[in-house]
Amino acid sequence: MMPITGATRLFAILADPIAQVRTPQGLNALMAERGTDGVMVPMHVGAAELTEVVRGLRQMRNFGGCIVTVPHKKAILGLVDEASPRAQAIGAANAVRREPDGRLVADMLDGLGFVEGLRGAGLPPAGRSVFLAGAGGAGNAIAFGLAEAGIARLTIHNRTEATARDLAARLRASFPSLPVAAGSDPSDHDLAVNATALGMKPGDPAPFDLLRLTPEMTVAEVIMAPEMTPMLSHAAATGCRIHKGAPMLAAQLGLMAAFLGMTR
């Protein structure tokens, strides 16, 4: 990292919990590589404190913006001045840029990063049938990203079925030709994706019925730490090809840096 000075631009990542995040390491290395006088720091912010924290960050004139992750991706939209059409359609954002006049502008990069991570691993999603667990902020973004990438069919599973049905309805409105439904059975799909936080903590239940996995399936994760979640371990033991969470972050780093203006 470059030395921190009075001219250093500050960036943050807001999350609860925070210890598992890897974005600061990646973006700090990227800024050092590009000669950017900036630093990203993790901020452990609970849901009850998010509004107050964002209000304070807005007032910091050397604050360049932040990455927003679990559980704040939906709530952040109500705290910014402008959001991209993509973020508005998804109903969540994970990147917020502070403009020189103090305005906060948000976008959602999760879906783009997940799709690019799949492509980089030789798993282009076009033409695949996909089972997606999770209809929260990450799930919404990944669903829209996969739809844009040309998947053949999508089944959405969520603990609250009404939430899955709502996401399915919004996807049908944007992608009328895509067969999409709420459901709980991952079998008969090419790709099963966990877009929930289940698997991050010891003792978490599985995000879906892992006994329904079959060896010809690919199983993908969005969780970065632990690197091998219980779902991935079970999938590997079943004979499935597995796709860890790290490629999604790696693909997003360049997208995040560009959005936050870290090359300036």
Which of these, 248, 212, 242, lies nearest to 120 by C-alpha position?
Answer: 248
Looking at residue 243, its amino acid is H
**CB-based contacts of 168: which residues, under 8 Å, 6+ apart?**
154, 156, 180, 181, 182
Fill in the DSSP letter of residue 75.
G
* CA separation for the pair 45, 14 (Å, rounded): 6
User: Quick count: other Cβ atoms within 10 Å of Cβ 136?
Assistant: 21
Catalytic residue chosen out of the listed positions 73, 74, 201, 244: 73
Alpha helices, DSSP H, located in 59-152:
85-90, 110-120, 137-148
136: which 2 tokens? 């929260």
- 74 catalytic, yes or no? no
CB 97 within 8 A of CB 244: no
Give me the residues paired with residue 220 across strands: 193, 243
21: left (phi over 0), alpha (psi -120 to 50) or beta: beta
Q: Which helix (H) or strand (E) holds 129?
A: strand 129-133
Contact (CB, 8 A) for 12 and 96 = no
The Cα 116–Cα 94 span in angstroms is 16
> What are the catalytic residues?
73
